[in-house]
Amino acid sequence: MTEKVLRQSDLAFQAQLYASSNPTRRWLHTTRYIWLMEAFRQYCPFRQYRLDGENNVQILEVGIGCAICTREIRKYCDVFAVDINPDSVEIMNGIQNIRAVQADITQPEFASRHAYMNQADIAICSEVLEHVADSRTALQNLHAALKPGGILILTTPNAWSTVEIAARFLDLPFMTRLASAIYGESVDALGHINRMTRRQLLSQIRSTGFEIVEATDTGFYLPLIAEFGSVAGQKICRALATWFAKSPFRWLCWTQCWILRKPYW
């Protein structure tokens, strides 16, 4: 287990997922990134503050990872980024428009400890909740960090999506070796300890006090077609993802994507 946790904290491994030689594997990760950045550009109020050349927007990113989102967001605004992994924090040190610190979003005193209570215009939490046991406290801290009317951009896997079902087999060492051989690149268990259904996450969202602005789903994995279908396989998975996302079977899509708002009162 320790080896797998360390593997998931490998930043080169994380970055490789967005540049995979397998078209479907690459698309599953990049389609989530594309959605996130489109949501950020839509809801970020930075344009309001640049008339005089100043930028007063406060952005909080929880979960730097390999920094694929952090590096893009900082082009628009200053970013306060946190991660529990010191390696993720280290790669951000010294980069313009970024302040990075090591922190645990599940600690009850997170918002007050980092002087971020009611300060953030936008919080981004992508692919984090599935890695922490106490996602309810994480959501409470994100709610506390936002200004009234602030936006949370949130993504996490659907518990019973085809990706997550298949990923359970990667806990078996021989399956990770087989998958690595098929893909021709590193494959590892996802390290997801808190897989939530839409209903489970919705319950936590509502109990925390967020308003739902938008909810959608992205990504779909079809075994064998994904591994051996090349570009045609990716197109099939993409077409099915579009269909499932608008159907009662949306939970088959890999990623839940949420736009949430902290109420003004």
Q: Is the pLDDT of residue 112 over 80?
A: no
Q: What distance lies between CA 64 and its chain's CA centroid?
A: 9
Rg (CA), the chain: 18
Q: How confident is the model at residue 124 (pLDDT cuts 50, 70, 90)?
A: very high
Task: Dig out the tokens for 240 from the structure.
Answer: 């099915």
Cα 45 to Cα 52: distance, rounded to the nearest angstrom: 14
Q: How confident is the model at residue 5 (pLDDT cuts 50, 70, 90)?
A: very low
Domain that holds residue 106: 2-261
Given this model, what pLDDT does residue 55 score? Answer: 54
Q: Is the pLDDT of residue 163 over 90?
A: yes
Q: How confident is the model at residue 53 (pLDDT cuts 50, 70, 90)?
A: very low
- Mean pLDDT (the chain) is 88
Close Cβ partners of 197 (under 8 Å, ≥ 6 residues apart): 158, 159, 160, 251
Cα 257 to Cα 118: distance, rounded to the nearest angstrom: 23
Maximum mean pLDDT: which of 44-48, 75-79, 237-241? 237-241
What CATH number does the domain containing 252 carry?
3.40.50.150
Cα 36 to Cα 190: distance, rounded to the nearest angstrom: 20
Maximum mean pLDDT: which of 59-68, 96-105, 183-192, 232-241? 232-241
Average pLDDT for 50-55: 45
pTM over 0.85: yes
Maximum mean pLDDT: which of 82-86, 112-116, 241-245? 241-245
Given this model, what pLDDT does residue 2 score? Answer: 36
Q: Is the pLDDT of residue 143 over 50?
A: yes
What is the distance between the terminal CA atoms of the chain, rounded to a whole angstrom?
Answer: 44
What type of residue is 225? I
Given this model, what pLDDT does residue 258 score? Answer: 98
Q: How confident is the model at residue 251 (pLDDT cuts 50, 70, 90)?
A: very high
Total domains, the chain: 1
Percentage, residues of the chain above pLDDT 90? 65
Neighbours of 68 (CB within 10 A): 18
